[in-house]
Amino acid sequence: MNLRFIATKVLRAIITLWMVVTFIFIILRISGDPTDTMLPDDADADMIEYYEKEWGLDRPLPEQYLIYFVNVFEGNLGQSFKDDRDAFEVVTERIPMTLRLGLASLIFGLCFGIPLGIYAALHRNSLADRLAMGLAVFGYAIPNFFLGILLILLFTLALGWLPSSGSATGWHMIMPVITLGTGGAGSLARFSRSAMLEVMNQAYMRTARAKGVARLRRIVFHAIPNAAIPVVTVLGFKIGGLISGSLITESIFAWPGVGRLLVTSVTSRDLAIVQALIMLVALTMVVANLLIDLAYGWLDPRIRVSSQQQKD
Amino acid sequence: MAPHSPSTVDETLPGITRGIFSKITGEFARMPWLVILCSLFIVAMCFMAIFAEVLAPQHYADQDLVNRLKPPSFLGGPERYLLGTDELGRDVLSRLLYATQISIFVAFAGTMIGAVIGTFLGIVAAHGRGMVEETIMMFVDAQASMPFMIIALAVLAFFGNSFWLFVLIMGINGWENYARLSRGMVLAANTHGYVVAVRSLGARPKRVYLRHVLPNIASALIVQFTLNFPSTILLETSLSFLGLGIQPPLTSLGLMLGTGRDYLLFAWWLSVFAGMLIFITTLSVSLLGDWLRDRLDPTLRR
């Protein structure tokens, strides 16, 4: 892959991160005195003085901005109101649980959505296609908080099969994963169906058929790799959806992850934690989008080549 | 969404005189039954929202503490409460009507704010070109790359919650879609004969854009509106569900669902009716929006 392609993508990622940090800095400064908003109410004078110095509040605004940047860069994001622990630490210890839930949901979405979409495309306009797409629209449109509640009503209250909250065993994961993954599965199904249909109409598919390539081989080696290209790009949006979905899902099922931490921190206005979490989300999104851009360039040689030509 | 090529704008918009509404009524006869059903439901929801005060059998805050958590009357609850009562003995039906009013109002106002800001900035970007365009599009890209719910939570956390701030946040959701769309379409329109003609007659930019360009790109913007509306409803209901949106004593569909969650064990009717309304509303509006998009503008079809 050529260097220029990677460099422009990385540069854009850095600009986005810079904008997020600046955005937080601005709303932090216009929402009041940071020692009031960021520190616990019972903070003593020494502590306030310490942080005033640490954040450079006695200096001019541009200098404060620089100091803020350095602090963010060093992971120095202030302390939680609740237990005076370092915000960075509080946030990072929650990450594995969210990652577990998010990855499982992503896999759930991929494993159900893509085969459903491919199947529907291969049986276009049949009853199975209609049913599959009806299911996909349903999954895509149902709000995840409502789906979560319906699942609890069915599997916990009516059938008594699954626990409705906590994270102790694998059984606890089933309902959160369905709640979080269904929306993505629905839209992936719709998207992979239309991507497949587009590819199947291409001339090279007709050529493959004329050459006498077997149907299964045509689908697996000719159609799917080409249809995968547009599907990969929507994965970026899916990751954003997973992050906002995890707020709701983790709150419904009392899952001890980052999403629930963000909701409780916003409720109690524990701003150091909120700040750290937003940085984390921004970083995740930017890295995810960067990886997807690079994967896209790797999958589709046309993109690499066109950016090569721009250079020449 | 891809910017328009000039030819398709011509095809879908035969002239300034033929407005979008006559076009829609013309299409009405060819609507599939599902879309008709969706439209009827949307009309019914709007009717409920506008006339909530008149339709509600009781005031949404009237408490009847003797009759707390009673099931709907068709399941053996007291006759006065068609859909049962909540934890303070308030009529669920009346609360649903008021909640619909608030939810629809917030979503409508929010989408409207987003449409106005986004379209304005899109036109400014297309008119200004150069640095102005670069800056606006940089903001568009930045917003599109962050999940908006996180930004909304940040603003709510730092500023605290108030009703109008909340409506404004709903408005900031989705402005980038209008900005992108209107920028692309204005860039295309600027090369068109009619804009060049009006401009050479000496019309000022304000007149060119408001009187001539805007009516011509309105149909695509209205489609975008119907596509954005469900996501605004979902954002409002999600935040209210988490207790971070509409605050009591006001109520919204999401808030009803959220508080009903605590009583799920013995009073499912508190959450299920509200959840159904949210689900069917968002589904109806998006199906209508998809249909409108395909009808009015085949180039936008995915």
pLDDT band at B65 (very low <50, low <70, confident <90, very high): confident
Torsion of CA B56, B57, B58, B63, to 10 degrees: -120
Q: Are the C-beta atoms of residues A237 and A184 closer than 8 Å to each other?
A: no
Nearest CA in chain B to A268: B157
Q: Which string of DSSP letters, residue by residue, matches B84-122?
A: -B-TTS-BHHHHHHHHHHHHHHHHHHHHHHHHHHHHHHH
**Residues of chain B contacting A266 with CB distance shorter than 8 Å:** 153, 156-157, 244
Q: How close B77 gets to chain A, by Cα (Å)?
A: 20
Cα–Cα distance between A151 and A277 in angstroms, integer?
Answer: 29
Two tokens, residue B266: 């013995």
- CB contact (8 A) between residue B146 and residue A285: yes
Cα–Cα distance between B42 and B51 in angstroms, integer?
Answer: 14
Predicted confidence (pLDDT) at residue B18 exceeds the cutoff of 60: no
pLDDT on residue A90 = 84
Chain segment B105-114, per-residue pLDDT in tens: 999 999 999 9
- CB contact (8 A) between residue B278 and residue A143: yes
Nearest CA in chain A to B243: A267
pLDDT band at B298 (very low <50, low <70, confident <90, very high): low
Predicted confidence (pLDDT) at residue B143 exceeds the cutoff of 70: yes
Burial of A295 (0-12, 13-18, 19+ CB in 10 A): middle
Q: What is the DSSP letter of B2?
A: P
Which region among A74-88, A237-251, B33-47, B253-267 has the lowest average model confidence (pLDDT)?
Answer: A74-88
Task: Determine how many CB atoms are found less than 10 A away from the CB of residue A207.
Answer: 11
Look at domain A95-256 and name its CATH class.
mainly alpha
Q: How close A207 gets to chain B, by Cα (Å)?
A: 26
* Minimal Cβ distance to A244: which of B150, B271, B286: B150
pLDDT on residue B227 = 82
- Could you report the predicted ipTM of this complex, rounded to two decimals? 0.81
Provide the angle, in degrees to the nearest 10, between the axes of the packed helices A171-200 and A127-141. Answer: 130
Q: Are the C-beta atoms of residues A242 and A105 closer than 8 Å to each other?
A: yes
- CB contact (8 A) between residue B146 and residue A157: no
Query: What SS3 class is residue B246?
Result: coil
With CA atoms as reference, report the closest residue to B44 among B6, B97, B87, B123. Answer: B97
Cα–Cα distance between A14 and A306 in angstroms, integer?
Answer: 23
Query: What SS3 class is residue A79?
Result: strand
**Domain segments of chain A as ranges:** 95-256
pLDDT on residue A296 = 75
Provide the angle, in degrees to the nearest 10, between the axes of the packed helices B163-172 and B214-241. Answer: 130
**Residues of chain A contacting B158 with CB distance shorter than 8 Å:** 27-28, 31, 37, 271, 274
pLDDT on residue B24 = 58
Cα–Cα distance between A115 and A128 in angstroms, integer?
Answer: 13
pLDDT, tens digit only, all 312 positions of chain A: 577 778 888 888 888 888 888 888 888 777 766 676 666 666 677 777 777 777 667 777 787 788 888 888 877 777 777 677 788 888 888 888 888 899 999 999 999 999 999 999 888 888 888 888 888 888 888 888 899 989 988 888 888 788 877 777 778 888 899 999 998 898 889 888 988 888 888 888 888 889 888 888 888 888 888 888 878 877 777 888 888 889 899 988 888 888 889 988 888 878 788 888 888 888 888 888 888 878 777 777 766 665 555 444
pLDDT on residue A306 = 58
With CA atoms as reference, report the closest residue to B227 among B174, B172, B279. Answer: B174
- CB contact (8 A) between residue A145 and residue B244: no
Q: Kindly list the structural domains of chain B, giving each domain's residue range(s) and its CATH number in brackets, ordered by start.
A: 6-47+102-300 (1.10.3720.10)
pLDDT (average), residues B25-38: 74
Taking CA atoms, B158 is separated from A32, A46, A53, A269, B114, in Å, by 9, 24, 22, 7, 22
Strand ranges in chain A using DSSP code E only, listed in sequence order: none
Cα–Cα distance between A164 and A68 in angstroms, integer?
Answer: 42
Cα–Cα distance between A110 and A227 in angstroms, integer?
Answer: 14
> What φ, ψ does residue B91 adopt, rounded to 5°?
-70, 120
* Minimal Cβ distance to A141: which of B141, B283, B302: B283
Predicted confidence (pLDDT) at residue B13 exceeds the cutoff of 60: no
Two tokens, residue A140: 């895509």
Q: What is the mean pLDDT of chain B?
A: 80
Centroid of chain to Cα A310: 32
With CA atoms as reference, report the closest residue to B232 among B74, B54, B110, B129. Answer: B110
Q: What is the DSSP letter of B72?
A: P
pLDDT on residue B263 = 84
Predicted confidence (pLDDT) at residue B25 exceeds the cutoff of 70: no
Two tokens, residue B234: 């979902």
Interface residue of A21, A24, A37, A146 to substitute, partner B, most B CBs within 10 Å:
A146
With CA atoms as reference, report the closest residue to B249 among B47, B81, B63, B84. Answer: B63
- CB contact (8 A) between residue B147 and residue A243: yes
Cα–Cα distance between A217 and B292 in angstroms, integer?
Answer: 39
- The secondary structure element, H or E, covering residue A302 is helix A301-311
Range B33-57 burial, b when 16+ CB lie within 10 A, else e: eebeebbebbeebeebbeebeebbe
Cα–Cα distance between B211 and B100 in angstroms, integer?
Answer: 35
Q: Which string of DSSP letters, residue by residue, matches A103-120?
A: HHHHHHHHHHHHHHHHHH
pLDDT on residue A104 = 92
pLDDT (average), residues B234-238: 90
